[in-house]
Amino acid sequence: MSNNRPIIFAIDKNYIQHLSVALESLYQNNSYEISVFILYSGLDNDDICNLNFVSEKYNQSIIYNEIDMEKFKGFKENFHFTKAMYFRLLIPDILNEDIQSAIYIDSDVVINGDIKYLFELDLKDNKLAAVGNPDFSAIKRLKLKIDTVYFDSGLLVFNLDIWRKQNIHKKIIQYIKEKPQILLYPDNDALNIIIDGDFLEISPKYSLQSNYISCRDCDFKYFDKFENLNDIFNNPIIVQYAGEIKPWHYLSNDHYKKLYWDYLKDTPYNNFSLKDKTLTNIIKKHISHPFKKILGKL
């Protein structure tokens, strides 16, 4: 099953611990052979040994592909996103041509259930499958078609056959080079502009952004066509840790923070301690932030 649809992760040194958590959660909840490819930059032998430690516990293996960063020289970076966000655009060229589809998953996730559905998903003639975003402000910002749904790039099931025939990845890369000024979330925005709504929408439980729970601008009626909103929030299969403050930050109040730490205990990084637990942040978390919430309710 999975041999024909591998899972791809893409990281630099910054996310090695978080990828180990993603892999641990993947293997704990999916007890069948899974082909995993890791596109990386800046990892050393210890990093790779730690990732292999996780996979070998479950009799799994990983294929590594080091990315030449010169390919993305001068490419735009924004917020907490590094140039590793562009690695996914190389997937159609890196994988053998006999691999006609692949699953890309961000590294700052927990895979908290069985993802067999993603392996068996029929893409038909769609360029990819993804989860639509319930915040429709990007449609106006990017001047997309009014009936288009903006999708998140944290989970992408690629129809590689179509991507190669139409050179979609090369068009996206060219767009990023030529028009960086209009790209707030560079890879994600460019993907949406070039794909132009031609994707298969799948349930948000397969890529639930963790900050949706506190999103005031989100139109969650969009989720109704998939399943009950409470079921999505209470039983996500994949949780994407969205935003600049993540579960491994002291100031994080992420609803799904405990999941990250539960899986972290089973990785080689189980001795990790919060490096940003400073006096300033303690005051922010326990005095400043609660006080602002109280003021906001008055």
How many domains does the chain fold into? 1
Name the one residue in this structure whose structure tokens are 């890196």: 94
pLDDT in tens for each of the 298 residues of the chain?
A: 344 799 999 999 999 999 999 999 999 999 999 999 999 999 999 999 999 999 999 999 999 999 998 888 888 777 667 889 999 999 999 999 999 999 999 999 999 999 999 999 999 999 999 999 988 888 888 888 878 899 999 999 999 999 999 999 999 999 999 988 888 888 999 999 999 889 999 999 999 999 998 888 888 898 999 999 999 999 999 999 988 889 998 888 999 999 999 999 999 999 998 877 777 777 877 765 554 555 445 4
Max CA distance (Å), the chain = 62
pLDDT the model gives residue 172: 95
Q: How far apart are CA 229 and CA 222, in angstroms?
A: 10
pTM (predicted TM-score): 0.92
CATH number at residue 141: 3.90.550.10
45-57 and 16-29 are packed helices; what angle lies between their axes, rounded to 10 degrees? Answer: 10
pLDDT the model gives residue 72: 86
Order of all β-strands in the sheet with 7-12: 62-66, 36-41, 7-12, 101-105, 155-159, 128-130, 200-201
pLDDT the model gives residue 1: 36
CB 183 within 8 A of CB 76: yes
Q: How far apart are CA 206 and CA 285, in angstroms?
A: 31
Name the one residue in this structure whose structure tokens are 């300033």: 280
pLDDT the model gives residue 79: 64
Q: Domain residues for 240?
A: 2-297
Beta bridge partners of 130: 201
Burial class (CB in 10 A: 0-12, 13-18, 19+), 196: exposed
